[in-house]
Structure 1
Amino acid sequence: MPNLMIVGFRDEVSGKTTISRAFLRYFLENGINATGFKPLSGNNIWRHYDQVCDTLEEGRLYSNDAKLLKKELDGKIDKPIKEELINPVHRLWNEPALIDPLTRIPNFLVDRITFLDDNHLKTILLNNKIASFESLDKEKFLKNLKDNADDIYDIEDIETFNTLVRYYYDKAIYSIYSKIRKDFDLVIIESYGDIALPWNSFFKELDLVIGVEPWNIYVYEPEKYLDAVEITTVSYLKEISTNQIKDLIKPMKKVRYRPARSSERIEKVKKIASDLFKDFDF
């Protein structure tokens, strides 16, 4: 099963989801059973309040990116797919989205983690007990989400937080990814922010890497891209940004694209996909 990964060269608004949707639409219209997959995502209580409230009213929590990717699949695949399968791990950030200097715990409200356990879909929450949330009643705000959760872990120290993140993030991403590998012929993996690799599990399973930024689309050979990530990882303890490796690798191809109105954007990028994938026999 081919894997195509989309990464961005901007922390925000690089165009990853637009490109992912356009490529997904292109493959689906050409008879390929494809899906989008965003292993990790997050949104912010202040900047994305409408989206947050809409999902919490459903007793769920997922990103607008997952919603848009699912929309591309609706009516085009045999079985409906939930946003949580497209996006197994999602964080709701508090504002400001910083790290507490005393506890070292990120200033988030809750992590929603969805995984498969004996073929049953389960959801757990990591509930940040130390996050200050004075302007709203946090328990009331998250009530529907908590009522639908299979388990809730309260986070009060960094050691517990790190242990749960390591275990459940990997369990969620691996179990969901394993399922969609069986159900789909092609997976478009979308990273988050400007992170070079959304999860280590995909190291050896990439067939093409696409980097995007305003005006430009870059195509990279997976082996060389991953080598650049690995070399850079030795020097950095934190997540690797795409801009830390951009100068280390030369793209196989660079495509220019112009801005377009939102109603036309996906179709215009889809035309680029037609030429692009013919060039690479993908």
Structure 2
Amino acid sequence: MTILVAGSDRVDAGKTTFTVGLLSHLDAVGFKPRAGNDFWFDHDDAMAAISEGRLYGKDAAGLADASAGDHSPEEVNSVHRLWWPAPGKGKGLLGQTHREFLVDRVGESFVVNGTTDLPETVRENLPLSDAVTIESVSELNDQTERRYLPHFRALAERINDAHRAVVESYSDIARPIQGVEFDTVAVVEPRRFRVYDGARYAKACEVADSSARDGSLEKRVEDVVNLLDPRETHTLEPLTEAERADPEKIAAVYESAYEALR
């Protein structure tokens, strides 16, 4: 069984909380192929990893902790991107307004944005001596072919080999990884989630309009689900902070909703 959890809101859709509880409910392994955080807005979370010479986010850490078996955040998350604000600079290397990427972790290696100065603590703590430095979108595209895609393919194989796998997407991107066929898709947003057949969702991904995102064309969730009728729609109840911190408590609150994904 392989389930995709996608979010229809770009920010705070509730994907990770939903996924963590689902992992506990199914005794499954969770994956987040792509992730990222902001050195300014997520500073504490970023520094928790950077101070250890690592780069991952709290979402991947939560999925790794809630998964069946013993997994590190890096094992369930192939690529992690560190951003920070770029006030007054307009569009940066990847065309993001007032935002620029600093460094990517790709597997165990790093790709650095050579058009900006890295924060001192990032330079000092991350093992960047062998990192690849890029200064243009064309160079990033070349590294995507050389470095990023092989890691995504390897992760897809691990997902396909898992007895039960739950894959969390990022932002409002409809399909975070190629080469994986999903049995069921859960589209999560505040107060509700919708259930879609995996095969029909995949076909809708093929025909939906694309939008420019991080230098590539990606399908957004709402553009995909606008082409489909959900198999089921369920209400999501709000959770207390204590419930959100415990995968088993999330699973208990959402148990009846999770059964719709089997």
Global fold match (TM > 0.5)? yes
Q: Distance in 2 between matches of 1:97 and 1:87?
A: 29
Q: CA separation in 2, counterparts of 1:12 and 1:169? A: 24
Matched, 1:143 2:89: no
Deviation, 1:276, is 4.2
Q: Is the 8 A contact 1:104 1:158 kept in 2?
A: yes
- Structure 2 vs 1, CA of residues 100 and 173 (structure 1 numbering), >3 Å: closer, same or farther? farther
Structure 2 unmatched runs, 5+: none
Q: Please say which of residues 220-229 and 15-24 is displaced more in the overlay.
A: 220-229
Q: How has the CA–CA distance of structure 1 residues 102 and 217 changed in structure 2, closer, same or farther, with 3 Å as cutoff?
A: closer
The normalised TM-score by structure 2 is 0.87
2:80 to 82, 90, 112: 90
Distance of 2:204 and 2:149 partners within structure 1: 23
SS in 2 for 1:52: helix
Which residue of 27, 41, 44 maps to 1:47?
Answer: 41
Name the residue aligned to 1:120. Answer: none
Q: Does the C-alpha gap of structure 1 residues 53 and 104 become closer, same or farther in structure 2, counting only changes over 3 Å?
A: closer
1:131 matched to 2:131? The reply is no
CA distance in 2, matches of 1:93, 1:267: 32
| Bigger mean CA deviation after superposition, 223-232 or 60-69 | 223-232
Which residue of structure 2 lines up, in the alignment, with residue 112 of structure 1? 105
Count of paired positions: 253
**How does 1:169-248 map onto structure 2 within 5 Å?**
169-182=148-161, 184-202=162-180, 205-233=181-209, 236=211, 238-248=217-227
Q: Deviations over 1:185-218 (max 9, x none)?
A: 111000001111112222xx11000000001011
Q: Residue deviations 1:3-31, cap 9 Å, x none?
A: 10000011111010011001000012xxx
Instruction: Report if the CA contact (8 A) 2:6-2:174 is conserved.
Output: yes
**Aligned residue in 2 for 1:118:** none
Change (3 A) 1:69 1:236: closer
Deviation, 1:131, is 1.8
Which segments of 5 or more consecutive residues in structure 1 lack a partner in the other structure?
29-33, 115-122
Amino acid at match of 1:15: G
**Superposed CA RMSD:** 2.5
Instruction: Specify the alignment match of 1:17 in structure 2.
Output: 16
